[in-house]
Homo-oligomer: A and B are copies of this chain.
Amino acid sequence: MNTFQDWLRARVQATPQATAVIIGERQWNYGALGQQVDCYCAGLIQQGVMPGQHVAVFLPNGLAYLCLVHALARLGAVLVPLNTRLTVAELSWQLTQSDCHLLVYGEESATVAAQLAGESDCRIVDAVTVARLGEGQMVESGFLAKTHFRLDAPQAIVFTSGTTGRPKGAVLTFANHFWSATASSYRLGLLPHDRWLSCLPLYHVGGLAVVFRSCLYGTAIVLHERFELDTFNASLERDQITLTSVVPTMLHRLLALRKDSPWPSALRHILLGGAAATAELLQASRESGAPVATTYGLTEVSSQVATLCPEDVVRKPGSVGRPLMFTTVRVVDETGRNLPPNEKGEIVVSGPTVMAGYYKNPTATAAAIRHGELYTGDIGFLDDDGDLWLVQRRSDLIISGGENVYPAEVEAVLRQHPAVADACVVGLPDAEWGQQVAALVECHPHATVSAAELLAFSRSRLAGYKQPRLLEFTPALPQTASGKVERRAVVSYLSRFKNGELP
């Protein structure tokens, strides 16, 4: 039973009249979405896309993106979703690394796409052209009949920054998405009239997962291009939202905006992920009656690993709950042995949602997946009830506004400046952003560079959300006995600048 009709086609057959997508004032039912996807399929075929090929999608959230996700699945081609906030250098590296044959871009990215075409072997085409090429074309059914929609086939290569600096491409299969959607429905419930408000970018696993969940369940996705506070808040009521996923920054702003106005009664869950939520945020949520479900997820595990439902968040704020059905979590010491309850260690995850591996990176794959278990690098513990608590996302990962920032990557760029000897990048607690990127820099003896110069240097090489918001100099970075930079001391030191205790 590993071969299926593709999910969208099965869904169109099951409930063509059910609402599939709502974007602003427009909506499409599954029948209409299916017709759109037929166009994109025909257009991609005209562009020479073949089963097994990799196709990058460089678009903001929108109908075209949704259609491309389904069309590539139907064609047996692999989606490579690109982060629209990256620099040309970062994008070019990912395109080459993932062996993309074609890049589909949006009008707003035409200039960047042209630059990328110049720097790689990848052909480019804009999404409007793909759709137009396909209009009125009958997809040759023989061609599609030949493509197999296998559960264990790769669906996407999703890049996730690594602690070693370079992003790695997590290969997610349809089976990963299927089991994630299935176990998610067991934890959160599903109702045929559910509507999931999604403002997370579709190039993130948190956004992508909602596309497959909705299609499998036959429910609607209410898609926003980005998080815009007033639009999001208005949509909750107007679009009769039952589920949504947010990161702490968004929830923080929503709570401030809504103050004491009651949450819509139809709203069943606000899935809060992306970073460990602070106690203050959870308390404010509780006081406002927001049905917050805290969750822990990873790109490498196709999103959700564990989720605590609202009634339990009230009882046990701070935990992310028990692992989902079919997912097993162990907390281990450095030798990989299980730790007793309440002892902190590395979170190790196994089950059918664990990725196939990192694309063309056997070293990283072997380091992350051992005997079928994913070593997350995240630190946490299981309490006596088996509920998971997240202590720290990877040893040094910074999550700012829901985006992952890996210090090693930022540090590597800073070190490229001729005046810089070493740099340590850390996350400082921040009420609005969750964490704020901050850097402490050690210059070469007698060399100097201003903070402004160094930030300008970094800005040309790194996406904006990775830029340090605070950058200070030191004659020598604090070191541990073994000679490693003592990150905790850097955090304390930089916090004093942030809090105005140091000039």
Residues in chain A within 8 A of chain B (CB atoms): 1-2, 4-5, 10-11, 13-16, 151-152, 175, 179, 182, 185-192, 216-218, 309, 322-326, 328, 352, 386
Q: Which residues of B contact A5 (CB under 8 A)?
A: 326
Contact B152 A1 (CB under 8 A): yes
Q: Smallest Cβ distance from A149 to chain B, in angstroms?
A: 12
Alpha-carbon distance between A432 and B2 when the two chains are bound, in angstroms: 44
A14 touches B189 (CB 8 A): no
A15 to B323 alpha-carbon distance, docked (Å):
9
Q: How close is A478's CB to chain B, nearest CB, in angstroms?
A: 43
Of B216, B324, B325, which contacts A186 at CB under 8 A?
B216
Residues of B within 8 A of A13 (CB): 322-323, 328, 386
Known: A1-B179, A386-B16. A190 touches B189 (CB 8 A): yes
Chain B proximity of A30: nearest CB distance (Å): 11
5 A–B contact pairs at CB < 8 A? Answer: A1-B352, A13-B322, A16-B386, A186-B190, A191-B191
Select from chain B the residue with minimum beta-carbon distance to A152: B1
A299-B359 Cα distance, complex, nearest whole Å:
44
Residues on the B chain within 8 Å of A191, using CB = 189, 191
The closest CB in chain B to the CB of A17 belongs to: B385
Residues on B with beta carbons closer than 8 Å to the beta carbon of A151? 1
In the complex, residue of chain B having the shortest beta-carbon distance to the beta carbon of A218: B186
Leading 8 A-B pairs by shortest Cβ distance: A189-B191, A14-B325, A1-B352, A1-B175, A186-B218, A189-B192, A10-B326, A186-B217
The winner among A190, A309, A324, A352 for most chain B CB atoms within 10 A is A190
B217 lies within 8 A of A14 (CB): no
* A325 contact set on B, CB distance < 8 A: 10-11, 14, 216, 218
When chains A and B are docked, how far (Å) is the Cα of A175 from the Cα of B189?
21
Q: How many Å lie between the Cα of A355 and that of B175 in the bound state?
A: 22
